[in-house]
Amino acid sequence: MEENTGSFAVKKGLAQMLKGGVIMDVVTPEQAKIAEEAGACAVMALERVPADIRADGGVARMSDPDMIAGIIDAVSIPVMAKARIGHFVEAQILESLGVDYIDESEVLTPADNDYHIYKHDFKVPFVCGCRNLGEAMRRIGEGAAMMRTKGEAGTGDVVEAVYHARTVLGDIRRLQSMPIEEVMTFAKEIGAPFEILMETRELGRLPVVNFAAGGIATPADAALMMQLGVDGLFVGSGIFKSGDPAKRAAAIVKACTHYNDASILAEVSQNLGEAMVGINVSTMPEEEKLAGRGW
Amino acid sequence: MKIGVLALQGAFAEHIVMLKKLGAETAEIRLPQQLDDLDGLIIPGGESTTMGKLMVDYELLEPLREFGLAHAMWGTCAGAILLAKDAHREQPLLNLMDITVERNAFGRQVDSFEAALDISSLNLESDAPFHAFFIRAPIIESMQGEAKALVTLPDGRIVAAQDGNLLATSFHPELTGDTRFHEYFLSLVKEN
């Protein structure tokens, strides 16, 4: 029997198993256990959640491998970790640690201002951020096996998550309704690889799983993104920067499953304590926004 | 014939596509009352701890167990874990199939693989090899009572088993275009 590891279908397959679930940022093994207990379908191991990266400033890099290994040992669910945009050596290190997914993330300080990692070279799958269809198509072209709309990480303001999800899904609707002879020019305009764009047109959705991220802080935010049509959610600072992380985490998981049931949403939204202190994105200077990172 | 797919988390949409291809009526199941008019149920791949937690919180554990005592049920990957009596770990299980499973038996995601399986034991019209995806997959470590192995890897490890009207596969037929396992499950639903 021939066994084949690291194929694109196998990489994409894990993301398919995460659908309908919530991936939570955690900074310690204890937080990872709280997340697993609350029903997270995976955790993102990192040293600082985006809200703290924002507050601290400086260069944000890959986390300490020892800390990531501690989280891998603590839970049975998949563990993801972040590498800087273009930093293929951080990615090699994360792959050797046995992380289940690498997030080539704009939340960390980019290591390359022109190029992303060539992700087909790795056995470990990658997830990347996007704000529009062209960006998603370029990342998939480089080998990303999962996408997430970027939103604006570490703000607790869902407005950019909504904008990016609507943009990607709207671009796909436009792609599907245009006559076929217009697709090549559309590909040129949005900087998308033509073949992947054609596949997307055929499928009526991205050819890989697409989660929402960046600013989701409440069960209602979670259900909003699901109703808009994403496959699942990343919640970063929204959980462990809130008053009662375990309760909020469990509530967001339930909201992600029962996103169409307003009475359940009302019930899980009760008495969650303080939500994270938010930063209003509309008053934020352009240079402080993370979503613009990525080429 | 109406088949439910448990839609708490995971790859439920993929199963629904396969079932529709075969002409079955389908329903996404999230709450106990939605089990009422079903002829069979699939528990998809996903995270077994996530699904188990949501089963407990929405009081699905006992209704699903009762459903499985009287109807055909199929679990893929995480679903197979949830059908088992033992997963070597404290987590909610349906306790339906006389099997013991080992979670993440092949390792982490970098060890996930695809492989061609011999499925001649299913006695289907076509016994061409089945191209299967193993994603952080469990194995069926041992079986008790009436449970029997259906498909094994060349090294003898069991990756599909049947116990009466209950079916468990540690791989994901819903990720392929190959409907033969879904057809086999529908035949179990009919027999039941």
Closest-CA residue to B19 (of B174, B150, B161, B190): B174
- Provide the residue type at B121 as one letter: S
Helix A159-177 / helix A183-190 crossing angle, nearest 10 deg? 150
Angstrom distance (rounded) from CA B170 to CA B152: 10
Residue A201: how many CA atoms within 13 Å on its side-chain side?
A: 20
Residues 6+ apart with CB under 8 A from A59: A109
Angstrom distance (rounded) from CA B149 to CA B142: 9
Residues 6+ apart with CB under 8 A from B55: B8, B61, B64, B82, B92
Residues 6+ apart with CB under 8 A from A172: A133, A200, A204, A205, A206
From A257, which residue of chain B is nearest by alpha-carbon distance? B8
Least Cα separation, residue B91 to chain A (angstroms): 10
In CATH terms, the superfamily for domain B2-191 is Class I glutamine amidotransferase (GATase) domain (3.40.50.880)
The answer to whether ipTM exceeds 0.85 is yes
Is the pLDDT at A2 greater than 60? The verdict is: no
Average pLDDT, chain A: 96
B47 → closest Cβ in A4, A7, A41: A41
| Residue labelled with tokens 């079986």 | B143
Is B46 within 8 Å of A77 when comparing Cβ atoms?
no
Please report, for chain B, the start and end positions of each structural domain, with discontinuous segments joined by +: 2-191
Kind and range of the H or E run holding A262: helix A262-268
Instruction: Give the tens place of pLDDT for each residue, A209-227.
Output: 999 999 999 999 999 999 9
Kind and range of the H or E run holding A42: strand A42-45
Tally C-beta pairs within 8 A across A and B.
127
| Residue labelled with tokens 């400033």 | A57
| A6 interface with B at CB cutoff 8 Å | yes
Instruction: Give the tens place of pLDDT for each residue, A142-186.
Output: 999 999 999 999 999 999 999 999 999 999 999 999 999 999 999
B77 neighbourhood in chain A, CB within 8 Å: 17
Structural contact between residues A134 and A127, judged by C-beta atoms closer than 8 angstroms: no
From A33, which residue of chain B is nearest by alpha-carbon distance? B49
Kind and range of the H or E run holding A81: strand A79-84
pLDDT of A101 reads 98
| A38 interface with B at CB cutoff 8 Å | yes
Q: Is A34 helix (H, G, I), strand (E, B) or coil?
A: helix
Residues of A labelled as active-site residues: 82
Six-digit token pair at A183?
């697709």
Rg (CA), chain A: 18
Is the pLDDT at A79 greater than 80? The verdict is: yes
Is A39 within 8 Å of B50 when comparing Cβ atoms?
yes
Give the torsion through C-alpha atoms of A92, A94, A99, A104, to 10 deg. Answer: -90
pTM of this structure: 0.97
Instruction: Give the tens place of pLDDT for each residue, B70-125.
Output: 999 999 999 999 999 999 999 999 999 999 999 999 999 999 999 999 999 999 99
Residue B107 CB neighbour total at 10 angstroms: 13
Is B172 within 8 Å of A7 when comparing Cβ atoms?
no
Angstrom distance (rounded) from CA A97 to CA A68: 8
pLDDT of B192 reads 87
Beta-bridge partner residues of B161 = B149, B168
A43 neighbourhood in chain B, CB within 8 Å: none
Average pLDDT, chain B: 96
Quickly state the pLDDT bin for A277 (edges 50, 70, 90).
confident
Closest-CA residue to B15 (of B47, B44, B52, B51): B44
Structural contact between residues A79 and A100, judged by C-beta atoms closer than 8 angstroms: yes
Least Cα separation, residue B113 to chain A (angstroms): 4
DSSP codes of every residue in B15-64 = HHHHHHHTT-EEEEE-SGGGGTT-SEEEE-SS-HHHHHHHHHHTT-HHHH
Residues 6+ apart with CB under 8 A from A179: none
Q: Which positions 68-107 of A are in contact with B (Cβ < 8 Å)?
A: 72, 76-78, 95, 98-101
Structural contact between residues B2 and B26, judged by C-beta atoms closer than 8 angstroms: yes
- Residue B39 dihedral angles phi and psi, to the nearest 5°: -100, -20
Structural contact between residues B7 and B162, judged by C-beta atoms closer than 8 angstroms: no
Instruction: Give the tens place of pLDDT for each residue, B55-69.
Output: 999 999 999 999 999
Kind and range of the H or E run holding A251: helix A245-257
Beta-bridge partner residues of B84 = B97
Q: Is A236 helix (H, G, I), strand (E, B) or coil?
A: coil
